[in-house]
Amino acid sequence: MLALVELRNVSIQLGRVQALRQVNLTLRANEIVTVVGESGCGKSTLGRAVLGLLKPSAGQVFYHGHDLFAPGFRMSDELRLSVQVVHQDSYASLNPVRRVGQQLAAPLKRHKLPGSVPQILEQVGLTPAEYFAAKLPFQLSGGQRQRVSLARAALLKPKLIVADEPVSGVDATLRLAILDLMRRLNQEGIAFLYITHDLATARYLGRGGRMLVMYLGQVIETGPVEMLLDNPLHPYLQALLAALPPLDPRRAREARPLPLRSLDMPDPTQPPGGCSFHPRCPYARPRCSQEMPPLREVQGQQVACHFAGEL
C-alpha cells in the first residue's frame, strides 16, 4: 500500500539546533501514529515536516509517492487539502473576529464541498448547532474551540490530520470527548499523526497503532503503542513511565522514579556525542559516550540503545 506520507532520513537544522536527525517515518491510510517526548525533543518540528512546512536540510519528504521538495514539483490543490492540522492553541488557530459559522462556511464555499454548517457542528457534538454557529471563538471553552478546529480540518475530507498537542489546553473532563471524536474520525477513514507529551492519552488514542519516542531530534524507540508502554526497552521511556503516578493511590508510596544522573536535558545547540541520552542515563557505560547507537530490532520493537534487552 502506498504511504500517505513518508520521511526518509530527514534532518532539519533550525539555526544552531539540529531539530531533527535522520528521522524515518511511514504513515499509511487509516493509521494512528503517536509521537511522544519532552518539550524540545523535536515532536512539533516533525509535525511541520510532515505538513511540508519545513524543507529538510537532508533527506526527502514524500506525499502519496511524490517527492515534495524535488525540483519543479508543484503540489496540487487536491494533494494540499489531503493533509490538515489541528494546533495546540485552539484560540490562536481561529479567526477571533469571525463567527464559528462563518469560519466553517468559508472552506465549504471555497472548495464547493457538500454539507452544511449545522450538520458539521452536530457531527462534533456542538448542539444546538445554531447556538454555536453564532458564537465568536472567545465565547467558547477550550474544548469547544478544539472541536471547531477538528470540524474545520475534517470537513475538507483529508486523508491525514496532524494533531499537535490538541488536548493539552483542554479540561481533563473534556479530554476523553476530544480523543473519542478523533478516534471516530479515524474510523471514518482519516489517519492521524498525534503529537503529545501525555503518555496516558497516547495509550488511549493510539491503541492498536504505532508510537515514536523522540529525544533531542532523534527517534530512539518505536513500535506498537501497547508494546512500548508495557515493555519499554530504552532507559528514557522507562524514566518517563516511572515518573507517572500509579493508578492505585494506595501504591503511591511504593512508586519509585527511575534515578536519572541529571534531570536537565542537554543544550540542543551542543548535543552530547555518542548516545544523546547518556549524560542522564543511569545505565550509561563508556561505549555510550563514544558511539551513537542505531535503531535496531529488539523483542519486536526498534530501539536505539546499545544495551536494550539487557537492562
User: What is the model's pLDDT at position 1?
Assistant: 65
Share of the chain above pLDDT 70, in %: 95
| 184, part of any domain | yes
User: What is the model's pLDDT at position 53?
Assistant: 92
* pLDDT confidence tier of residue 76, bands split at 50, 70 and 90: confident
| Contact criterion met (CB below 8 Å) for 294 and 302 | no
φ, ψ (nearest 5 deg) of residue 23: -90, 135
Query: What is residue 249's DSSP assignment?
Result: G
DSSP tally for the chain: helices H, then strands E: 12, 12
| 133, part of any domain | no
Domain limits for position 66: 5-82+158-231
**Burial degree of 292 (CB within 10 A; 0-12, 13-18, 19+):** middle
Give me the number of domains the chain comprises.
Answer: 1
What would the pLDDT profile of 160-212 be if each residue is shown by its tens digit?
Answer: 999 999 998 788 778 888 999 999 999 999 999 999 999 999 999 999 999 99
Q: What angle do CA 216, 22, 224 make, to 5 degrees?
A: 80
CATH number of the domain where residue 170 is located: 3.40.50.300
| 73, part of any domain | yes
Asked whether the predicted pLDDT for residue 311 surpasses 60, the reply is yes
User: What is the model's pLDDT at position 170?
Assistant: 81
| Contact criterion met (CB below 8 Å) for 7 and 50 | yes
Taken in order 109, 147, 206, 34, the sign of the CA dihedral is: positive
| 307, part of any domain | no
Q: Rounded distance, CA 179 to CA 129, Å?
A: 21
User: What is the model's pLDDT at position 309?
Assistant: 84
| 139, part of any domain | no
| pLDDT, mean of residues 10-32 | 95
Between residues 270 and 1, which one has the greater pLDDT? 270
Q: Rounded distance, CA 211 to CA 33, Å?
A: 6
| Contact criterion met (CB below 8 Å) for 12 and 21 | no
| Contact criterion met (CB below 8 Å) for 31 and 62 | no
Query: What is residue 55's DSSP assignment?
Result: -
| 18, part of any domain | yes
User: What is the model's pLDDT at position 69?
Assistant: 92
Single-letter amino acid, residue 251: R
Helix (H) or strand (E) holding 66: strand 66-67
| 25, part of any domain | yes
The mean pLDDT of the chain is: 90
| 297, part of any domain | no
| pLDDT, mean of residues 287-297 | 94
What would the pLDDT profile of 86-134 be if each residue is shown by its tens digit?
Answer: 988 888 889 999 999 999 999 999 888 888 999 999 989 999 999 999 9
